[in-house]
Amino acid sequence: MSSIQSKMRGRPPKSKNSCTWCNETKQPLKYVLPTQHGKKEFCSESCLSAFRKAYVRGACVGCDNVIRGSPIKLEQKDGPTKDFCSPHE
């Protein structure tokens, strides 16, 4: 907890909001889609609808982002299979 990762240089912290779908930061994020885990912001209506389409097909239960490509499935004894976008810790 006390170790600071000083090796990770060159990338600015995520202070700016970027479009959830295309990661564009230049444009204002005027389109907002509320989800169970908060709201997602988008630069354009097409980004919003593209995200929403992918989101209803399957969202990562770890980070609430859409899964692009094949999901990582976690099977549970009791309950539905959970889909992840990547192996979350």
Interacting span for Zn ion (CB under 5 A) from 2-10, 28-36, 56-64, 69-77: 56-64
Q: What angle do CA 10, 25, 60 make, to 5 degrees?
A: 85
Residue type, 31: Y
Nearest approach, Cβ of 44 to Zn ion (angstroms)? 5
Q: Which of 30, 58, 63, 74 binds Zn ion (CB under 5 A)?
A: 63
Nearest approach, Cβ of 59 to Zn ion (angstroms)? 8
Q: Which of 18, 62, 72, 82 binds Zn ion (CB under 5 A)?
A: 62
Which stretch of DSSP H or E encloses residue 72?
strand 72-74
The rounded distance, in Å, linking the Cα atoms of 15 and 20 is: 14
Would you count residue 85 as binding Zn ion (CB under 5 A)? yes
The rounded distance, in Å, linking the Cα atoms of 61 and 45 is: 24
Q: Which of 29, 31, 40, 43 binds Zn ion (CB under 5 A)?
A: 43
The rounded distance, in Å, linking the Cα atoms of 67 and 54 is: 7
Binding site for Zn ion (CB under 5 A): 19, 21-22, 24, 43, 47, 60, 62-63, 85
